[in-house]
Amino acid sequence: MAAVEERTFVRAEARYVRTAPRKAQLVAEQIRGRSVPEARTILAFMTRDAARDVERVLYSAVANAEANHGLDGDELYVLTATVGSGPTLKRWRARARGRVARIKKRTCHITIALALPEEQAIPAPLPKPAPVVTPAPEPEAEAVEEEEAPKPKRAPRKKASETAETAEKKPKRAPAKKTTGAAEDKPKPRAKKATPKAEAAEKPKPKTTRKKKAEDS
């Protein structure tokens, strides 16, 4: 049987990080070979933007060691911190006289490995807890009885011929007269009082003939 190699480190990796490899590599060199508490302090006070990406990978490696192997994160140190180049996104920018300038958006892969001092062996991974299976709730007795009870049968539908005969037998009602409420609500017009000017205008003027006009002249 082949001998099983003992693991001496715990690692974490972040791929396709939107940072240039050179910028992340300058940060990784500052924490290589240092203890985890010291590396956390250096990254917390570093002003480079790539320090935030490297710090996330460091916290992930510590979480892997604590959750999977039951280790204490403060007892570990940074064994390796490497940065590899990833794919480059190519963009362009308009320039003068119809020319184009190329923009390269680089990516990188950050890997951090933690180990115990004096290269002690990492304990085997902890066994995963068995999944808890919740028993299905039993149906209530009343619900079962309701399901087993037969549904009441529907009354048969009447045929079209039967409905026509019943409609003929029924006497037709006389149509009711429609009364509009607007006509009843209208007030009656009042009789206007006769004024002397109106009476004079209503009286007919006497007709004068040509003979009377000649006699008068």
Largest CA distance in the chain: 164
**Nearest CA to 36 among 65, 8, 14, 13?**
65
Q: Which of 41-45, 46-50, 55-59, 194-198 is least confident?
A: 194-198
The pTM assigned to this predicted structure is: 0.58
**Domains of the chain (ranges plus CATH)?**
10-118 (3.90.470.10)
**Highest mean pLDDT pick, 29-33, 131-135, 154-158, 175-179:** 29-33
Residue 83: pLDDT over 90:
yes
Q: How many CB atoms lie within 10 A of CB 73?
A: 18
pLDDT score, position 1: 42
pLDDT score, position 51: 96
pLDDT score, position 2: 45
Tell me how far apart the alpha carbons of residues 45 and 51 are, in angstroms, rounded to a whole number.
9
Q: How large is the average pLDDT for residues 103-115?
A: 96
Residue 60: pLDDT over 80:
yes
What is the per-residue pLDDT across 14-44, written as a single tens digit (0 to 9) for each? 999 999 999 999 999 999 999 999 999 999 9
**Highest mean pLDDT pick, 14-18, 133-137, 188-192:** 14-18
Q: How large is the average pLDDT for residues 75-100?
A: 95
Structure tokens at 163: 């409905």
Tell me, what amino acid is at 38? E
Structure tokens at 50: 């790539």
Q: CA torsion, points 154, 158, 159, 162, in degrees to nearest 10?
A: 160
What is the per-residue pLDDT across 63-78, written as a single tens digit (0 to 9) for each? 999 999 889 999 999 9
